[in-house]
A and B are shown apart, each in its own frame.
Chain A
Amino acid sequence: DAGVTQSPTHLIKTRGQQVTLRCSPKSGHDTVSWYQQALGQGPQFIFQYYEEEERQRGNFPDRFSGHQFPNYSSELNVNALLLGDSALYLCASSYRRQPQHFGDGTRLSIL
């Protein structure tokens, strides 16, 4: 039973570019949440998708957007990349009142 899978594992971009990160939830999970973890800090909630809609959003600008597909997989898009967007991006999936399970993350570096 595959857990939460994220791709790519590492990514290098330059300022101003756009990036798309992908997440496949754990089998049986229908809810996907995205988090940003800056170096030395705890993860911060970006947004959550359920039934292909954004259900809740954290304190992140509109440059951060997402999508959920009918198979529950999800994408995180970030436009107009800034140096401060360099971070580990974590995807978590869950089903109703069960605990969240996290993927291994995508490490994004902005030059």
Chain B
Amino acid sequence: GIQVEQSPPDLILQEGANSTLRCNFSDSVNNLQWFHQNPWGQLINLFYIPSGTKQNGRLSATTVATERYSLLYISSSQTTDSGVYFCAVEKGVNYGQNFVFGPGTRLSVLP
């Protein structure tokens, strides 16, 4: 099956700093999503981005499908950005089939 790697595993930032999180996957995919899991366990959709670039406020993401990686950019980080960021991919034609999550990047933003 598809392997998903994320780096770095842990990241500590001072409030206001920028960061880049990376997701590598081992095969072509039909779906790629970035999620943020807050300290209470809630898993929040950030981006649906199987290819291309998207931006939403301080967050943006780029997926280069041909090279099998995706990047999540966080600018001007805030303490509320703390939590675990997951990349998840799937090959299936029908969405949600065998969605494979990476191990996550744990982000801590210090005031």
Tell me how far the C-beta of A44 lies from the nearest C-beta in chain B, rounded to whole angstroms. 7
Q: Is B56 interfacial (CB-CB < 8 Å)?
A: no
A67 CA / B101 CA spacing, docked (Å): 24
Q: Is A100 interfacial (CB-CB < 8 Å)?
A: yes
B1-45 residues at the A interface, CB under 8 angstroms: 31, 33, 35, 40-45
* Contacts across chains A and B counted by CB atoms under 8 Å: 67
A28 CA / B82 CA spacing, docked (Å): 31
A-side contacts of B95, CB under 8 Å: 31, 94, 96-100
A21 CA / B58 CA spacing, docked (Å): 36
B-side contacts of A41, CB under 8 Å: 103-104
A50 CA / B92 CA spacing, docked (Å): 14
Q: Is B55 interfacial (CB-CB < 8 Å)?
A: no
Question: Per-position contact with B for A86-111: 1 when CB-CB < 8 Å, else 0?
Answer: 00101010101111111011010000
A-side contacts of B66, CB under 8 Å: none
Tell me how far the C-beta of B36 lies from the nearest C-beta in chain A, rounded to whole angstroms. 11
Question: Per-position contact with A for B37-61: 1 when CB-CB < 8 Å, else 0?
Answer: 0001111110010000000000000
Question: Per-position contact with B for A26-65: 1 when CB-CB < 8 Å, else 0?
Answer: 0000010101000001111100101000011010000000
**24 A-B pairs, CB-CB below 8 angstroms?**
A31-B95, A31-B96, A41-B104, A42-B86, A42-B88, A42-B102, A42-B103, A43-B86, A43-B101, A48-B96, A55-B94, A56-B92, A56-B97, A56-B98, A92-B96, A96-B94, A99-B95, A100-B33, A100-B95, A100-B99, A102-B45, A105-B41, A105-B42, A105-B43
Shortest beta-carbon contacts, A-B, top 8 = A42-B101, A99-B48, A102-B43, A33-B96, A94-B96, A56-B97, A94-B95, A43-B101
B interface residues, Cβ below 8 angstroms from A:
31, 33, 35, 40-45, 48, 86, 88, 92, 94-104
